[in-house]
Amino acid sequence: MARAWDELVATARRTVADGLVVGTSGNVSVRVGDTVLVTPTGVPYDRLAPGDVVGVDLAGRQVLGSLRPTSELPMHLAVYDATDARAVVHTHAVHATAVSTLVRELPLIHYMAAALGGQVLVAPYATYGTQELAENVLRALEGRTGCLLQNHGTLTHGSSLSQAYDRTAQLEWMCRVWLAASSVPGTAPTLLSREQVAEVGERLRGYGQPG
């Protein structure tokens, strides 16, 4: 549990260092058994210490720590309930948030969309911390490991904090590429087909080193 908390804090701090969040915006969680460790609400990540651990059960009841959990807890718990996620990263990344205000799905600008399950959808806007937002996110995540939140930010999940974070970084990068390509007057970016992205998805199954 202590190691998981340390990794969670390190991941949260990385979202700030990499410019994916400002101040205390965004949040990170990791599931350890039937306990979900989550960043607390309103506390700068650089102030978090080992004794500040915050944990809830899968029903949202606090079982560890005295700091209040993130206001986005309903969204995190909904993802754990509906998927096999072991970690969730939510950010207010600049380019991804900008894209979320322009389209209903991120155009297929790059084949690495396959790493998120295909074309990334935009969850309709709802007030932060609400069950409505959690439900909108689940619909946008169906069959995928990442989505955009309209006028809000990003959410990705994975089998580990490092995987969830890498997916967030990849999503922000794709949004930045699309915005850059779309900004040239008189032209439109070439997009990939769903079939081309699906083919990459198959190839990614065997990507990396064995074992």
Q: What is the pLDDT of residues 13-72, one digit of tens each?
A: 999 999 999 988 999 999 999 999 999 999 999 999 988 999 999 999 999 999 999 999
| Rounded CA separation 30/169 (Å) | 17
Catalytic (active site) residue 7: no
In the chain the domains, ranked by start, together with CATH numbers, are 2-204 (3.40.225.10)
Which residue do the tokens 């999940």 mark?
Answer: 157
Instruction: Write down the catalytic residue from 7, 72, 105, 202.
Output: 72
Alpha helices in the chain (DSSP H): 2-17, 73-82, 94-100, 131-141, 161-182, 194-204
Q: How many Cβ atoms are within 10 Å of 190's Cβ, its own excluded?
A: 8
Which H or E run contains 2? helix 2-17
Q: Give the type of residue at 50.
A: P
* % of the chain exceeding 70 in pLDDT: 97
